[in-house]
Amino acid sequence: MSRIAYVNGRYVPHHAAGVHVEDRGYQFADGVYEVFTIERGRLVDVPAHHNRLMRSLGELGIASPMAPGALDVILHEVVRRNRLQRGIVYLQVTRGVSPRNHVFPDDVEPSVVVTARRGGRPSSENQDNGVTVITVPDIRWGRCDIKSVSLLPNILAKQAAREANAYEAWQVDSDGMVTEGASSNAWIVDTDGNLVTRPLANAILGGITRLVLKQLAEEQGIRVIERPFSVAEAMAAREAFVTSATSFVTPVVQIDDRVIANGKPGSTTTRLITLYGNHVRNAQLTKT
């Protein structure tokens, strides 16, 4: 069965899906995106993704292409047409198509692309054994809270991780504090068993997995402290892990050359993997 994509009002075969060469997403990376987890044919945490999408669009002055309900219909239709039970949906909204000029064009319609695919899940090997992360300088811009498709520093960081046989790169600010991964949020467990993760601000993306996990942990009486932590603190931490729509909760057992604790996923992280896994499995149909 061939894959189906949605492009600006039409459902088209994936191999034939394309945007105009003067789409500002292509010319300037002038656009935003969302990645949704699909479980049992359902999108997980849709309202939170919508909120973040609307915020990203608003911060960039890109018009909302349609009401959230209409977008939901398209997202679910792409999942349905691709007969996906488990996988991910990618949604991209750009400012639209217009002759190349840095200033915003007048009267432009935002472009909307939706694709879906299988996979996009943490492997059981990574969740059982944990992964290695490297540290790299955070060379990104000052608005990492916007989920922009402009990801060059992130892909350079991820490539550096790949070349070091690591799973992820933790980006480090000029004060030696970890901001986040190239495509995930970064967490540690302190000596008292509290979760520590960087507070929401312009320096990080407000991950939906981060948001949900914080709620799930607090419901279980696990304290979540939002404060910056240094690379040195992370290396000496009891446990460490990353979160994202594609990593879920993935334990980190080594940072650069330093093994964390005994080099195995810790009990808190293992508990969080189960909690988050249950959350995904219980995802409710949010179709409108």
- For the beta carbon of residue 261, count every other beta carbon within 10 angstroms: 14
Is 197 a binder of ligand PDD (CB under 6 A)?
A: no
Q: Which of residues 7-46 bind ligand PDD (CB under 6 A)?
A: 35
Shortest distance in whole angstroms from residue 211 CB to ligand PDD: 8
Q: Which of residues 215-244 bind ligand PDD (CB under 6 A)?
A: 243-244
Q: ∠38-41-42 over CA atoms, to 5°? A: 60
Q: If you ran DSSP here, which 8-state letter would residue 282 be given?
A: T
Query: Helix (H, G, I), strand (E, B), or coil: what is residue 255?
Result: strand
Is 207 a binder of ligand PDD (CB under 6 A)?
A: yes
Is 269 a binder of ligand PDD (CB under 6 A)?
A: no
**Is 264 a catalytic site residue?**
no
Q: Which of residues 105-164 bind ligand PDD (CB under 6 A)?
A: 154
Shortest distance in whole angstroms from residue 172 CB to ligand PDD: 14
For 183, the token pair is: 């495509």
Q: ∠213-219-220 over CA atoms, to 5°? A: 95
Chosen residue from 205, 237, 240, 249 binding ligand PDD by CB under 6 A: 205
Query: Helix (H, G, I), strand (E, B), or coil: what is residue 93?
Result: strand
Query: Helix (H, G, I), strand (E, B), or coil: what is residue 15?
Result: helix
Nearest to 272 by CA among 248, 253, 255: 248
The window from 1-9, 67-75, 130-138, 183-191 that contacts ligand PDD (CB under 6 A) reads 183-191
Residues that bind ligand PDD (CB under 6 A): 35, 154, 180, 183-185, 205, 207-210, 243-246
